[in-house]
Structure 1
Amino acid sequence: MIAAVLVGGAIVAEVTATLALRASNGLTRIAPSVAVAVGYLLAFVLLAQALKTLDVGPVYAIWSGLGTVGALVGGALLYDEPVRPATLFGMTLVVVGVAVLYLCGGITHD
């Protein structure tokens, strides 16, 4: 259960860092650039801790897939980026793929 919370925190940190990357204007704005560095560092630390007890394949799929969806939603909400029907279809494929990997690939190791 704790490992799942760590993965969730890693996802939030990664999405936050990715959205701050857009706001950093090519890492030329200090505050968003610091948020990028801190967010990615936190994401990797949390993910590394979760991988002490969870399998890397399904966890990475969950982290990257939900991070992708989070960045897409955040980009739409914060930066008015377009969300087209094909984008929604692709996002659905990502979520379904992550679910299949999670359900069929196992999640914990001995």
Structure 2
Amino acid sequence: MSPRTPSRRQRSYAPVFAALGDRTRLSLVITLSTGPPQSIAQLTEGSPLTRQAITKHLRVLESVGIVHAVRSGRESLFEFDPQPLEEMKRYLDQVSQQWDQALGRLKSFVER
């Protein structure tokens, strides 16, 4: 596969980046990643958003695997799953390393 053609794995990261590109969803991820699982009611507390809006954002995050719902009695608690972000970090580390190598080659070429 050429460097310009993204692999299946690389294409799978695009929806995760898109999900995190929204301020509300990013805020939800931060909240859930730093505390215990929370209900929609808890996540709505102190927010100008409605329960329906929070639910919609949680569903987007759930669809890319960043959060998942756990039933607790009659309500669902949402919890953070770091796995997709850890995979993306490894990928971004690889990309960063490739850029560092390319810039090193360019520097060597220019300084000749």
What range is the shorter-chain TM-score in? Answer: 0.3 to 0.5
Question: TM-score scaled by structure 1?
Answer: 0.35
Give the structure with the larger strand fraction: 2
- Which has the bigger relative contact order, CA under 8 A and spacing at least 6? 1
